Amino acid sequence: MEIESILLKQRDFFKTQQTKSLAFRKMYLEKLKNLIISHENMLYEAINKDFGKSKFDTFTTELSFILNDINYYIKNLKSLSKPKKVRTNLVNQLGNSKIYADPLGCVLVIGAWNYPYQLSFSPIIAAMAAGNCCILKPSEIAENTMKAMAKIINENFPPEYLYVYEGGIGETTELLKLKFDKIFFTGSTKVGKIIYQAAAEHLTPVVLELGGKSPAIVTKDADLEVAAKRIVWGKFLNAGQTCVAPDYLLVEESVHEQFLEMLRKYITEFKYGPDSEHYTRIINQRNFQRLMNLINKEKVYFGGNFDEKNLFIEPTLLNNVSWEDDVMQEEIFGPILPVISFTNFNLVLTTILELEKPLAAYLFTRNSEEKEAFTTKLSFGGGCINDVIMHLGNDRLPFGGVGNSGIGSYHGIYGFEAFSHQKSILEKATWGEPDIKYPPYSEKKLSWIRKLL
Ligand code: NAD
């Protein structure tokens, strides 16, 4: 079907007001939940074909998120959509003031490949909960998951409400010529700029969920064992192809050697070998080559082995890394962890402040002054103290970037708000209004108005 005609149908359908009914929204959210559950095996197989992601990882980092999102919105739909009463000021008496969460209309969601289900379904679930029609364009890079999502949606939902449009850059470029009421994009900062420019043509608001180099700092006051275990888990989950993975490590010099040994110990314990069914592969040849070029053999502390045929790169620690090295010039997005040592904590914060604002930042310490300085001095999307990535697991926290790492946020109530317009309504009584607002004016009226305003 031609995509423009689908959007026109969605526009007509939105005008029927059907998507605004809570019963309608609940019915389709339930339907999507049941379809995901009944197609679980198909979803596991597709993602395994795309980049060897295991059933365990797919459930814990993708499907469980999606099912939780659906349950959250079904449970909270009534309270989220209920008009919020706010105080009415003196000049607007006698009246009452309310804010209505108004669906935006027809929205476009563009997904990334690295968590293909979560990054495509979570935004459309929020869009559905908020009462919108939606076109989803998943990433073509994870082709099998794109097809699986298209099968689930296009065979079971009316296209005038929800539709998956399969395609790559050409198809996305076509889509971007059309006028949407919101574009929700997940992907690189480079493509984010293309999306933002295209959206500006139609004054379409955007959420841009982008990437960047997210630092993790480990000071001498950290619980080093806990830090090493959590960092190894978070960095090599999905073979480092996670937008909020710790991109590089800054370790205080006095514990540097000891910490590297602990990292090595956990990588070995977690058994991330070439035969592991729990260690994800690199998505494609292009990224494999890009990553291999970032491994400076002279700086390999651990790992560095690879199997090109199977797109396997061993978890790799790089030591004695400097800020000028190639690996520090771009988001790594793979299983390579550069480690830089530091002696002055405040200087480290100053250095990070000089860089683009990251999507995430992490600090491992038990020192409350360091915690305070990290939280208040740095600007980044979100993060953790004494953990990595897990802030995403709390849907009461908004998830999104700042500066180069993104615009806007979602998850829980923030996802609902991202796809709603806050419409203000002041309702006035038709009686009891003093005459001072109306001409002819006088000094006496002005003095009353001064008192009121
Ligand atoms: P990408 O920017 O290459 O692609 C994302 C989407 O944009 C895809 O659907 C793709 O088809 C489309 N696209 C690509 N080039 C385009 C163009 N020239 N014109 C129009 N559309 C185009 O990103 P990716 O490789 O899929 O994902 C990796 C990046 O995404 C990393 O930077 C990562 O940090 C970031 N990311 C961010 C989040 C987040 O939630 N903030 C999550 C996952 C990934």
Q: Are 196 and 293 in a shared domain?
A: no
Atom of ligand 1 nearest to the CA of 112: 26
Count of Cβ atoms closer than 10 Å to residue 157 Cβ: 18
Residue 426 phi/psi, 5° resolution? -110, 120
Residue 451 lies in a domain: no
Atom of ligand 1 nearest to the CA of 140: 11
Span 223-274, pLDDT tens digits: 999 999 999 999 999 999 999 999 999 999 999 999 999 999 999 999 998 8
The amino acid sitting at 392 is: L
C-alpha distances (whole Å) from 358 to each of 340, 380, 381, 415 are 17, 5, 6, 21
Residue 439 lies in a domain: no
Count of Cβ atoms closer than 10 Å to residue 235 Cβ: 28
Query: What is the Å distance from ligand 1's center to 129 Cα?
Result: 24
Look at ligand 1, atom 22, and give the residue with the nearest C-alpha. Answer: 169
Report the alpha-carbon distance of residue 101 to residue 83 in Å, rounded. Answer: 7
Query: What is the Å distance from ligand 1's center to 18 Cα?
Result: 32
- Return the pLDDT at 412: 97
Asked whether the beta carbons of 342 and 249 are under 8 A apart, the reply is no
Q: Which of 50, 140, 172 to mutate to test the pocket of ligand 1 (most atoms within 8 A of CB)?
A: 172
Residue 109 lies in a domain: yes
Residue 157 lies in a domain: yes
Handedness of CA 69, 71, 76, 81 (dihedral sign): positive
Q: What is the CATH number of the domain that holds 377?
A: 3.40.309.10
Helices 22-38 and 143-154 cross at an angle (nearest 10°) of 130
At 149, which helix (H) or strand (E)?
helix 143-154
Q: What is the CATH number of the domain that holds 35?
A: 3.40.605.10
- Return the pLDDT at 357: 98
9-14: average pLDDT: 98
Report the alpha-carbon distance of residue 94 to residue 376 in Å, rounded. Answer: 43
Report the alpha-carbon distance of residue 130 to residue 239 in Å, rounded. Answer: 34
Catalytic machinery residues: 209, 243
DSSP conformation letters of 177-227: HS--SEEEEES-HHHHHHHHHHHHHTT--EEEE-----EEEE-TTS-HHHH
Residue 378 pLDDT greater than 80, yes or no: yes
Ligand 1: which residues within 6 Å by Cβ? 110-114, 119, 137, 139-141, 168-169, 172-173, 186-188, 191, 194, 209-211, 243, 331, 333, 359, 401, 406
Residue 198 lies in a domain: yes
**Prediction pTM value:** 0.96
Q: Are 294 and 165 in a shared domain?
A: no
User: Binning pLDDT at 50, 70 and 90, where does residue 129 land?
Assistant: very high
Span 336-357, pLDDT tens digits: 999 999 999 999 999 999 999 9
Q: Are 331 and 391 in a shared domain?
A: yes
Per mean pLDDT, which range of 112-126, 277-291, 313-327, 439-453 is the poorest? 439-453
Asked whether the beta carbons of 115 and 87 are under 8 A apart, the reply is no
Per-residue 3-state assignment (H helix, E strand, C coil) for 229-250: HHHHHHHHHHHHCCCCCCCEEE
Q: Are 185 and 227 in a shared domain?
A: no
- Return the pLDDT at 273: 86
Residue 355 lies in a domain: yes
Atom of ligand 1 nearest to the CA of 187: 30
Q: Are 334 and 303 in a shared domain?
A: yes
Residue 449 lies in a domain: no
Residue 29 pLDDT greater than 60, yes or no: yes
Q: Are 412 and 386 in a shared domain?
A: no
Q: End of a domain among 383, 400, 417?
A: 400
Helix (H, G, I), strand (E, B) or coil at 146: helix
Residue 441 lies in a domain: no
Mean residue pLDDT across the chain: 97
Query: What is the Å distance from ligand 1's center to 350 Cα?
Result: 29
DSSP conformation letters of 319-385: -S--TTSGGGTS---SSEEEEEEES-HHHHHHHHHHSPPPSEEEEE-S-HHHHHHHHHH---SEEEE
Q: Are 172 and 258 in a shared domain?
A: no
User: Binning pLDDT at 50, 70 and 90, where does residue 1 land?
Assistant: low
- Return the pLDDT at 91: 87
Span 411-424, pLDDT tens digits: 999 999 999 999 99
Q: What percentage of the chain has pLDDT greater than the value 70? A: 100
Helix (H, G, I), strand (E, B) or coil at 419: coil
Q: Are 286 and 143 in a shared domain?
A: no
Atom of ligand 1 nearest to the CA of 381: 41
Q: Which of 119, 136, 191 to mutate to test the pocket of ligand 1 (most atoms within 8 A of CB)?
A: 191
298-302: average pLDDT: 98
Structural domains counted in the chain:
2
Host domain of residue 250:
215-400
Shortest CA distance to 228 belongs to which of 265, 198, 192, 201? 265
